[in-house]
Amino acid sequence: MIFSRLSPNREVTIRFDRFKQKIVVGENILSNFVSEVKLKKYSKIILFVDKFVLNNHKEKIDNIVKGLDVECIISFIPSEIVKSVERLGYFIEKCHAFGLDRKGCILGIGGGITGDVGGFISSVYMRGIDFVYLL
């Protein structure tokens, strides 16, 4: 798909054998983001965010954290080191320590490494939990 041809704030649904995935593409989507995530009624949300994004978009991220009652923020410097087995294990231990359960969610905000780390952890934690990714 070529996303550059899409009009602003367009939804794309990708269908898989067992589920479908909604992707929202466009500008200024934060206004609906919090309300959409709240509809899922997650038991807990843990935020994975790269430190540069956190520092450069502090106000927007604070609004998301408050709006979703995020209980834990895990921030990191985005580098390939973050993908090491030791570091991933540390992140999984943090999720467990904060009581993330099967009805919880990992929210990733950042670039590719954030997507890699958050996506991997959410896929293996308790045999898979939801991952919401804001790029």
pLDDT of residue 33: 85
What CATH number should be reported for the domain holding residue 76?
A: 3.40.50.1970
- What is the tally of structural domains in the chain? 1
Is residue 46 situated within a structural domain? yes
For residue 115, with 0-12 CB atoms within 10 Å meaning exposed, 13-18 middle and 19 or more buried, which class applies? middle
Is residue 32 situated within a structural domain? no
Domain encompassing residue 130: 40-134
Is residue 115 situated within a structural domain? yes
> Which H helix or E strand runs over 15?
strand 10-15
Is residue 7 situated within a structural domain? no
Structure tokens at 110: 């950042």
- Cα 22 to Cα 37: distance, rounded to the nearest angstrom: 12
pLDDT digits (tens, 9 = 90+) for 83-117: 999 999 999 999 999 999 999 999 999 999 999 99
- Cα 114 to Cα 32: distance, rounded to the nearest angstrom: 22
Its pTM stands at: 0.84
